[in-house]
């Protein structure tokens, strides 16, 4: 039994995946190994198995999504689970209904597992405390997005065999990115070295304790890294002028054709999507042979199959259940 993940010895109960926080190397590797099995199922002429027949997965998205929601729903269908779906835009939220009431309504449709996305850090943790269903965090504000990190690790491992000793640069709006937080934890758990590349205003107020180094310029490190992970400027979360202009940001940090050509030939380019072409990545760089952006999308389904299977099939807890002291303080001051 892993103390870090609080796994139940009898395999019973209800488990959640709320963050990479609390997972060690073997926890991450176990999910990636299981993903290999589901990737193989995805390559069959009929990519479907009866593993979760009779179970229902609900996607509860209070914030926009293309890839993550479609990927969870595809994963559930490949496992023969039923799906129900809630979208904030077309719901009674606009009529004043609370998150808690919304979750209760969705749960009452017979769901076994809720996939939750919200713009506020800690929402998935809160929801896990309200229901006796499994909860998967599909992105909570700028806190965590664990399945994105798992599919990114899977994509890198698929190409390179192992992340051990790799130097991975995460570039862009790290301050507002849940993907960056989950990926720093997952990449380093698998033995990679992470360098954050951003202007000082796009770094979190404190990175004390983060297992990373920092660079403020992209050009000097381009030839010296094994993978470049690009992030979108999260305009929806930026409340002050953190960059002079998108044009100025792009001139220093956009991965253009000439910049990608200076990377090692076997280096990888990743992006969680959606991409803002011409801001953090050019069309040419996105289609360069180093780019594995489409592999990330494909692998997202297999990784999420593994996560749904582990949670619903075994009731296991994946990662910590607590949002951590820093986020708990933040949450206690907000009304949901």
Which residues of this chain interact with ligand NCD, rule CB under 6 A? 67-68, 139, 145, 148, 178-179, 232, 272-273
- Structure tokens given for 209: 């304790």
The single-letter DSSP state of residue 109 is T
**Shorter beta-carbon distance to ligand NCD: residue 78 or 181:** 181
**Shorter beta-carbon distance to ligand NCD: residue 14 or 180:** 180
* Ramachandran quadrant class, 83 (left: phi over 0; alpha: psi -120 to 50; beta: rest): beta
- Minimum distance from residue 163 beta carbon to ligand NCD (Å): 20
Tokens 């209800």 identify what position? 14
Cβ contact 315:12 at 8 Å: yes
How would you class 252 by CB atoms within 10 Å of its CB: exposed for 0-12, middle for 13-18, buried for 19 or more?
middle
Closest-CB residue for ligand NCD?
232
**Shorter beta-carbon distance to ligand NCD: residue 166 or 230:** 230
- Rounded Cα distance between 247 and 6, Å, is 47
Whether the upstream peptide bond of residue 121 has omega within 30° of 0, thus cis, is no
- Minimum distance from residue 269 beta carbon to ligand NCD (Å): 15
Strand 167-171 to 193-197 pairing: parallel
**Shorter beta-carbon distance to ligand NCD: residue 65 or 213:** 65
**Shorter beta-carbon distance to ligand NCD: residue 273 or 324:** 273
- Minimum distance from residue 139 beta carbon to ligand NCD (Å): 5
- Minimum distance from residue 10 beta carbon to ligand NCD (Å): 34
- Minimum distance from residue 179 beta carbon to ligand NCD (Å): 5
């Amino acid at each position: 039994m892993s103390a870090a993940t609080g796994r139940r010895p009898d395999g019973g109960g209800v488990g959640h995946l709320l963050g990479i926080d609390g997972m060690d190397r073997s926890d991450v590797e176990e999910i990636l190994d299981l993903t290999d099995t589901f990737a193989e199922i995805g390559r069959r002429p009929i990519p479907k198995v009866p593993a979760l027949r009779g179970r229902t997965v609900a996607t509860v998205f209070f914030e926009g999504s293309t890839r993550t929601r479609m990927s969870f729903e595809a994963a559930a269908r490949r496992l023969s689970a039923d799906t129900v779906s809630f979208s904030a835009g077309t719901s009674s939220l606009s009529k004043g209904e609370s998150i808690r009431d919304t979750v209760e309504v969705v749960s009452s449709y017979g769901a076994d597992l809720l996939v939750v996305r919200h713009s506020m850090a800690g929402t998935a943790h809160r929801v896990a405390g309200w229901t006796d269903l499994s909860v998967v965090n599909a992105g909570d504000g700028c806190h965590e997005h664990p399945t994105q990190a798992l599919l990114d690790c899977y994509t890198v491992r698929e190409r390179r065999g192992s992340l051990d000793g790799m130097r991975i640069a995460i570039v862009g709006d790290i301050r507002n990115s849940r993907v960056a937080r989950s990926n720093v934890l997952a990449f380093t758990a698998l033995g990679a070295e992470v360098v954050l590349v951003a202007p000082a205003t796009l770094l979190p107020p404190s990175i004390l304790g983060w297992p990373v180094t920092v660079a403020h310029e992209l050009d000097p490190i381009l030839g010296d890294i094994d993978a470049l992970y690009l992030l979108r400027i999260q305009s929806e979360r930026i409340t002050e002028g953190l960059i002079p202009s998108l044009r100025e940001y792009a001139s220093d940090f956009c991965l253009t054709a000439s910049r990608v050509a200076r990377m090692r030939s076997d280096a990888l380019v990743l992006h969680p999507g959606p991409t803002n072409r011409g801001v953090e990545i050019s069309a040419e760089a996105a289609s360069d042979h180093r780019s594995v952006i489409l592999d990330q999308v494909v692998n997202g389904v297999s990784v999420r199959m593994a996560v749904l299977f582990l949670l619903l099939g075994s009731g296991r807890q994946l990662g910590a259940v607590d949002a951590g002291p820093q986020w708990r303080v933040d949450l206690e001051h907000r009304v949901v």
